[in-house]
Amino acid sequence: MNGDELSVIRSHLANERTFLAYVRTSLAFLAAGAGMIHFFDSRLVQKAGWLILAAGSVIAITGFVRFVTVRRRILKSRPREPEKTQARPPHS
């Protein structure tokens, strides 16, 4: 493996870590919003819960779109393998 291949692998891993951070944040927002809706009777708190729930959904969608976009860019910039040349037979 050369340095270019390793940098592509590092980029893929960083992209996956970032996507997982989006997922983790989204799940936290979704859980908080659902908890506010379920456990509080105040209309204001329930409205806030719905807003937080919506924000969690937006975060999840944003994270997925970003992951796919960056993945495509990484794959497009992947270094190509050098073409193999056929060995010529020795001259007699």
Name the phi and psi angles at 88, rounded to 5.
-85, 140
Its pTM stands at 0.78
Between 43-76 and 3-39, two packed helices, what is the crossing angle to 10 degrees?
Answer: 170
pLDDT tens string 48-80: 999 999 999 999 999 999 999 999 999 998 766
Q: Which residues make Cβ contacts (< 8 Å) with residue 51, sequence separation at least 6? A: 33
Rg (CA), the chain: 24
> Would you kindly state where each structural domain of the chain is located, as residue ranges?
3-76
Distance (Å, whole) CA 51 – CA 35 = 12
Which tokens is 50 given? 């719905």
Q: What pLDDT does residue 66 have?
A: 98
